[in-house]
Amino acid sequence: VAPIKVVVTGASGKMSRETLAALTRDPAFDPAGAVSRATREEYLSLPNGAGLIPYSSDLGAMLTRVRPDVMVDFTNAGVALDYARTAFAHGVRPVIGTSALDDRQVAEIRSLAEQHRLGAIIAPNFALGAVLMQLMARTAARYYDHAEVIEFHHDGKKDSPSGTAVATARLMREARGRDFTRPESEREAVAGARAANHGGIGLHSVRLPGLVAHQEVIFGGPGETLTIRHDSIDRVSFMPGVLLAVRAVRNLDHLVVGLESILLEGAS
């Protein structure tokens, strides 16, 4: 079977470099090209001396040149939609890990996928444990009236709260069918001390050097709390999910948001 050809965007970024390394390690994949905003180089050297691949600042030209099956995007919400438009126009399926896409951007990607009858995946978190954390939080949400989510990320993260925290809160509210109860402070000595409010769920964002990606979901009830915690201690934790999505997207003809449905399908 021919390896799956993949072009990676944002190639100078941390997640894109990790993705190129993961694609290089597995012979089922062919890291066929890389795109980086400002590069003037024509070739990029793969990790571990695995060779050179075509490199460009022009995604359209790259897709025409290498004709990949899939584009993996870990960039920035400002450019991910443009990159996805270019991918669809070239018949290439996007796997998007970029976080903080808004509803309008997701809706456009959904309609482009339908229009082109091409699969696409948007996954705010590719770590297996993070997906399981969300599923567990969804289950617990039906039994508690009070909940808070604390997410912890490295100090280079541009957006807050994290896409995973927002997706978790959304799943928890959907499972309950109503908002959580949020005790407000009578006096807030420092503005923002009670965190953002997502349907009664307090969303807290911690940013510190040394962290990668972590999240706690804490439920409170009479005389008890339940804490569900997940830690990505290395970016390599996202790679099995990325490779799973790259495989799965080839068999789709529409947009799937979140890795959970793909994971659960694989498990059944």
Ligand X SMILES: NC(=O)c1ccc[n+]([C@@H]2O[C@H](COP(=O)([O-])OP(=O)(O)OC[C@H]3O[C@@H](n4cnc5c(N)ncnc54)[C@H](OP(=O)(O)O)[C@@H]3O)[C@@H](O)[C@H]2O)c1
Nearer to ligand X, 3 or 258 (CB): 258
Contact segment (CB under 6 A) with ligand X among 36-44, 60-68, 132-140, 181-189 equals 36-44
Per CB under 6 A, 13 contacts ligand X: yes
Per CB under 6 A, 36 contacts ligand X: yes
Q: Furthest-apart CA pair in the chain: how many Å?
A: 65
Per CB under 6 A, 207 contacts ligand X: no
Rounded Cα distance, 184 and 172, in Å? 20
**Which DSSP helix (H) or strand (E) runs through 120?**
strand 120-122
CB of 253 to ligand X, least distance (A): 22
Q: Is 153 tagged catalytic?
A: yes
CB of 19 to ligand X, least distance (A): 9
Q: Where are the beta strands (DSSP E) in 124-241?
A: 146-153, 196-198, 201-207, 213-221, 224-232
Rounded Cα distance, 254 and 268, in Å? 21
Per CB under 6 A, 125 contacts ligand X: yes
Nearer to ligand X, 182 or 247 (CB): 247
CB of 221 to ligand X, least distance (A): 31
Per CB under 6 A, 263 contacts ligand X: no
Per CB under 6 A, 240 contacts ligand X: no
Q: Is 204 tagged catalytic?
A: no
Residue type, 33: G
Phi, psi angles (nearest 5°) of residue 253: -125, 25
Per CB under 6 A, 76 contacts ligand X: yes
Distances in Å between the Cα of 153 and the Cα atoms of 113, 168, 176, 204, 232 are 31, 16, 28, 11, 10
Interface map 146-185 toward ligand X (x if CB under 6 A):
----------------------------------------
Of the candidates 139, 83, 138, the one whose C-alpha atom is nearest the C-alpha of residue 109 is 83
Rounded Cα distance, 22 and 223, in Å? 46
Selecting among 90, 146, 154, 157, the annotated active-site residue is 157
- Of positions 99, 105, 134, 215, contacts ligand X by CB under 6 A: 99
Nearer to ligand X, 14 or 142 (CB): 14
Q: Count CB neighbours of 123 within 10 A.
A: 27
Rounded Cα distance, 23 and 66, in Å? 16
Selecting among 153, 198, 214, 230, the annotated active-site residue is 153
**C-alpha of 85 from chain center:** 18
Nearer to ligand X, 105 or 180 (CB): 105
Which residues are annotated as catalytic?
153, 157
Residues binding ligand X (CB under 6 A): 10-15, 36-38, 74-76, 78-79, 97-99, 123-126, 238
